[in-house]
Amino acid sequence: MKKVHVFNAGPCLLPQAAIDNAIEALRDFKGTGVSVLSISHRTKEWDATMDECRALWKELLHIPDTHEVIFLGGGASLQFLYVAMNFLERKAAYLDTGVWAHKALKEAQGIGNAYAIASSADRNYSYIPKGFEIPGDLDYLHITTNNTIYGTEIHEDMDCPVPLVADMSSDIMSRPVDVGKYALIYGGAQKNVGPAGVIFAIIRKDALGKVSRYIPTMLDYRVHIDKLSMFNTPPVFSIFVMNETLKWLKGIGGVEAIHRIDNEKAGLLYDEIDRNPLFTGTAAKEDRSIMNVCFVMAPGYESLQDEFFAYAKECGMVGIKGHRSVGGFRASIYNACTAEDVKALVSCMQEFAKLKA
């Protein structure tokens, strides 16, 4: 079989160790004789997996005791509603950096007073807005730290005078995070830490209980904290694979180690984009994502787009087509994507340029 190099934006490429362990658990979960697909979430074996997964999150991100970690079903899009239900009382602001940030704002506006504090829509979300003032009377400021469609990323934890809420769906566990600066960090697992079907939420416990509205039971973070993420049946298989993925990450040196690796991978690809006359990047250089590298054919070479897609496919490249709203190309180089995968894409771009020279 031809070697393939997976750059899908999500679900992400998972480490082979996690996949292999998941295959074994499908046959027999921890010696129970029961498949992980059929195991009861009320067994001691499953309790141990949940405890281990929670502990790995806390260890890898150095999460302080002020915060708790929970796992819920559904995607990050449902969390847009959770955020507003649990935190919005008077007024909230959102940093509008792309499609998902805009959708999060829309959900909040259905609950109460929420607005865009700054936006990069004027240049098709190709940069991260800077220099905006944050009013001190906000219930929270919401940011999306990495924008998968546009290839931009907030690289540092901002100082914020109000509770800070962050959707980190697509860059969680790719860099060290000062969790103490956030009231809430949430995201879907399928971009970097597991398969689709489960979300993580890291919540500062004393930030909850501030709203006067009734919160439906399933939308109340406090319920899920109290019940250790098992108020209802959790997405067992997705959490199992998440746990295996985090075990792999710890084994290679943790978040600090993968941050160096991810930066090196991104540097290889961005250097080629900047060097190769056939391609050009779409994101502002200071805001380039180390997770989602977006680029297009350079001016004068636009007619070669379909030809390059075909050539890249022949070379084994999978998932490099850009989002339909921006076109071009996107290579998602999440944690499990290897330097060898990135080097193969770079070689593909170089060989194509030689053919067209």
Phi, psi (5° rounding) for residue 351? -65, -40
268: left (phi over 0), alpha (psi -120 to 50) or beta: alpha
Say if CB 292 and CB 336 are below 8 A apart.
no
Residue 71 pLDDT > 80: yes
337: left (phi over 0), alpha (psi -120 to 50) or beta: beta
Q: How far is CA 203 from CA 164, 199, 208, 334, in A?
A: 11, 13, 8, 24
Residue 135 pLDDT > 90: yes
Rg of the chain (C-alpha set): 21
Percent of the chain with pLDDT over 70: 100
Residue type, position 136, single letter: G
Catalytic residues: 100, 167, 191
Say if CB 241 and CB 224 are below 8 A apart.
no
In this structure, which topology does domain 16-251 adopt according to CATH?
A: Aspartate Aminotransferase; domain 2 (3.40.640)
What tokens were used for 140?
């929270």
Alpha helices in the chain (DSSP H): 16-27, 44-60, 76-87, 99-109, 221-226, 236-251, 254-275, 305-314, 339-356
- If pLDDT is split at 50, 70 and 90, which confidence band does 74 have? confident
Average confidence (pLDDT) over 170-193? 97
Question: What pLDDT digit, counting tens, does each position of 77-131 carry?
Answer: 999 999 999 999 999 999 999 999 999 999 999 999 999 999 999 999 999 999 9
Q: Are strands 92-96 and 114-119 parallel, antiparallel or unpaired?
A: parallel
- CA separation for the pair 210, 217 (Å, rounded): 16
Collapsed DSSP state (helix, strand, coil) of residue 96: strand
The number of CA neighbours under 13 Å toward the Cβ of 160 is 25
What tokens were used for 117?
């504090």
Say if CB 152 and CB 128 are below 8 A apart.
yes
Domain 254-356: give its CATH code. Answer: 3.90.1150.10
Residue ranges of the chain that CATH labels 3.90.1150.10: 254-356
Q: Rounded to two decimals, what is the model's pTM?
A: 0.97
- If pLDDT is split at 50, 70 and 90, which confidence band does 1 have? low
Q: Poorest-confidence range of 191-195, 240-244, 323-327?
A: 323-327
Q: Poorest-confidence range of 145-149, 152-156, 172-176, 324-328?
A: 324-328
User: What pLDDT is stored for residue 47 in this prediction?
Assistant: 97
